Amino acid sequence: MDDVRASIRLYRKAREHGAVVIDAYTSPLPSVIRVEPGDPRPEERLGFPTPGKSPEHLGDAEVAQCLLREVEYVAAHSSALARIDPDVAAAVLAGTRPRPSFAPVVLLAGELMAAEAIAALLGRRTGTDFRGWFLDPWSGRVERPRTGVIGRVREWLARRALRGFLSGPVRQPPGRLHAEQGPSPLAARP
């Protein structure tokens, strides 16, 4: 969701008019979501503080909470955390840095959504549903959300990891070079 207020309005109107919504998550990985008129909306299933509220009257704190809930879902059900810089993630979640857009990811997500839209127009079903899925182009894997106990445990772990980004200094993941360690050994190779 690029704009939380506009997305909530879109999803609500689509339900009212019986329309399908094709969307993507705020994610460093390309993703696609297909929400049919009877499916739960992201604000309902991700626990946004918005049901029953007018999008125009949402405060910045409520919008930030919606973004955090979406990012928690992405972190729980994809390899997104392995693909981002923790400092950048912390700054985006804290609202001190805009969300970066990496052109290849945006293009791939657009292609996934276009293919899903064509399938919807042709009346065809694909494997995409209201939970969506992610494509990890670095590993060549399709990542689908987990359900049941495994899904809930992963969501709890993701919430904990992301709240750690916001509450204290960011720890570097193992194997990552710190700036004070000097340049990468790969940088010296011709």
- Which of left, alpha, beta for 15 (phi over 0: left; psi -120 to 50: alpha)? alpha
CB-CB neighbours of 56 under 10 Å: 7
Residues 6+ apart with CB under 8 A from 119: 125, 126
Comparing 7-16, 59-68, 155-164, 171-180, the range with the smallest average pLDDT is 171-180
pLDDT at residue 86 tops 80: no
Decide if 51 contacts 44 (C-beta within 8 A): yes
Q: What type of residue sits at position 128?
A: T
Q: How confident is the model over 167-187, as pLDDT tens digits?
A: 655 444 444 433 333 333 333
pTM: 0.80
Cα gap 32→25, rounded to integer Å = 7
Q: How far, CA to CA in Å, does 126 sit from each of 39, 84, 119, 146, 158?
A: 15, 29, 7, 18, 28
